[in-house]
Structure 1
């Protein structure tokens, strides 16, 4: 149940949230909201892969 929820969230993130790696964002110059999006995407991805 938990894993399927995170897989759904990962697909939703891919559709809705921006990809900063494609934009070649420098993490040292990223704004706080951009770091929050990166952290959220990493959290969801890690839980979807477990």
Structure 2
């Protein structure tokens, strides 16, 4: 089973740290990285 997730953080280093931490989880797929809630809502609505 694949777990799909998106990262929402307004700071690029924060997004990078989260992406690297989550990469350790086999079967998890990063869908998008967003700077804020408006970006995240647009991704989720698509």
TM-score range, shorter chain: 0.3 to 0.5
| TM-score normalised per structure 1 | 0.32
- Bigger relative CO (Cα 8 Å, ≥ 6 apart): 1
- Higher gyration radius (CA): 1
Whichever structure has more strand as a proportion of its residues is: 2
| TM-score normalised per structure 2 | 0.34
